[in-house]
Amino acid sequence: KEKEEVVRSLSDWFVPESLATSYVLDEAVVVAGDFRIDPAGHIRLADFVDTGTGERRVGRIVQRMLEIETYKTMSMLGFARVREIGSRMGHIDRQLTDLMADMRDEEKSADLTLAGLLAVSAELENLGVQTSFRFGATSAYEAIVHQRIEVMRETRFDGRQTLNEFMMRRYDPAMRTVKASEARLKAMSDRAIRAGELLR
């Protein structure tokens, strides 16, 4: 009967498609959340506590759920930064490709090509400085999110997706995008340096 009441509450309070629900800490509590911002600007998280579960244990679960949401939100700042610089990185990449093609053209001035490569290298260095802290913080926050989920010792509730599965589908792709952009920025910088040394 209690399980039926929990299922009914979940359908009333959350968006089913994005709902993550699971038993945690040896089925002491059912945690749920759809991680969607409601019209009031809030995210709903719910804990359904088994009778006999101590207040301190419930408090730790609530704290971990809040930490998961907080650090998830903080790590998504890195994804937002990637979206901001995506077109700029694409423009720099095309410039670098054109300059490397100019190196093979004997009619192109080596001095002008070198000046162009130095300008691109400086822009890439500047971009790297601007994003290094945010990318590093994103990686650290991502690790905390996964660690907090792991210590909750999830088991499946009513055939629904767990918090870990939700993160794999909705969160991890964004984190992989951040890592890929960080690697791309470093690779572009290395290409520009090698091309400049070769031209010299």
Mean pLDDT score, 123-147? 93
Q: How far is CA 14 from CA 1, 32, 70, in A?
A: 20, 9, 19
Tens of pLDDT along 158-182? 888 898 998 998 899 999 999 999 9
Q: Say what the pLDDT of residue 150 is.
A: 93
200 pLDDT exceeds 80? no
Q: Say what the pLDDT of residue 148 is.
A: 93
Banded pLDDT at 146 (limits 50, 70, 90): very high
Banded pLDDT at 131 (limits 50, 70, 90): very high
Mean pLDDT score, 105-109? 77
Both tokens of 123, joined, read 């822009």
Q: Say what the pLDDT of residue 1 is.
A: 40
Q: Are strands 20-24 and 29-37 parallel, antiparallel or unpaired?
A: antiparallel
Q: Say what the pLDDT of residue 7 is.
A: 64
pTM of the model: 0.81
| Exposure of 63 in the CB half-sphere (CA atoms within 13 A) | 7
8 A C-beta contact, residue 27 and residue 37: no
Backbone phi, then psi, for 31, in 5-degree steps?
A: -105, 150
Q: Say what the pLDDT of residue 49 is.
A: 85
User: For the chain, what is the radius of gyration of the CA atoms?
Assistant: 24
Q: What is the DSSP string of the chain?
A: -HHHHHHHHHHHHS-GGG-EEEEETTTTEEEEEEEEE-TTS-EEEEEEEPTT--HHHHHHHHHHHHHHHHHHHHHHHHHHHHHHHHHHHHHHHHHHHHHHHHTT-TTS-HHHHHHHHHHHHHHHHHHHHHHHHHHHHHHHHHHHHHHHHHHT--EE-TTPPPHHHHIIIIIHHHHHHHHHHHHHHHHHHHHHHHHHHHH-
Amino acid at 21: T
- Residue whose entry in the numeric block shows the structure tokens 């794999």: 168
Tens of pLDDT along 49-101? 887 888 888 898 899 999 999 999 999 999 999 999 989 999 999 988 888 88
8 A C-beta contact, residue 151 and residue 163: no
Q: Which residues contact 116 (CB under 8 A, 6 or more apart)?
A: 95, 99, 102
Tens of pLDDT along 1-54? 466 666 666 666 666 667 888 998 888 888 888 877 778 888 888 888 887 888
Between 166 and 141, where is the model more confident? 141
